[in-house]
Amino acid sequence: MVDRIAVTGPLEEQLVQIELGMLVGGPLAEQFLEALRGRGMNDVLEQSESGREIFGKGQVDGMRRLLRAKYGDLHDLDDLAQRLTASDYDKNIARIVADVTVEELRS
């Protein structure tokens, strides 16, 4: 299926095929995602609704891990990770790396 998507012309048709492929869910959906990534189709995947949702979850998980590694277990870790990811992910990563305090991140 991934090969068929790769040779499909219009972006809109590729996006529809990706969404249909994600409907299977579970391990098959994970294999489908890996196959898309293996074909270098992240740019198309990021434009699909499912892809944006997956990448968003990945960013929140990454932010959560970074916050935990830097500041330890925070009582508002999940909320803070979601808020920082939603506001400006790259800027907030840079702020954390630059050693801002957790109070500054919360404000």
Does 14 share its domain with 38? Answer: yes
Could you please report the per-residue DSSP string of the chain?
-HHHHHH--SHHHHHHHHHHHHTT-HHHHHHHHHHHHHTT-HHHHHHSHHHHHHHHHHHHHHHHHHHHHHH-S-TTHHHHHHHHHHHHHHHHHHHHHTT--HHHHH-
The predicted pLDDT at position 49 comes to: 77
Does 34 share its domain with 63? Answer: no
Does 39 share its domain with 62? Answer: no
Angle at CA of residue 99, ends 98 and 100, nearest 5°:
100
The predicted pLDDT at position 80 comes to: 96
Distance of CA 43 to the CA centre of its chain: 12
Does 2 share its domain with 26? Answer: yes
Does 59 share its domain with 107? Answer: yes
Q: Model confidence over 78-97: pLDDT tens digits?
A: 999 999 988 988 899 899 98
Q: Model confidence over 27-82: pLDDT tens digits?
A: 787 788 788 878 888 778 777 777 777 666 778 888 898 999 999 999 999 999 99
Full domain range(s) for residue 95: 55-107
Does 64 share its domain with 103? Answer: yes
Number of compact structural domains in the chain? 2
With cut-offs at 50, 70 and 90, classify the pLDDT of residue 18: confident
Beta carbons within 8 Å of 29's beta carbon, 6+ residues apart: 21, 22
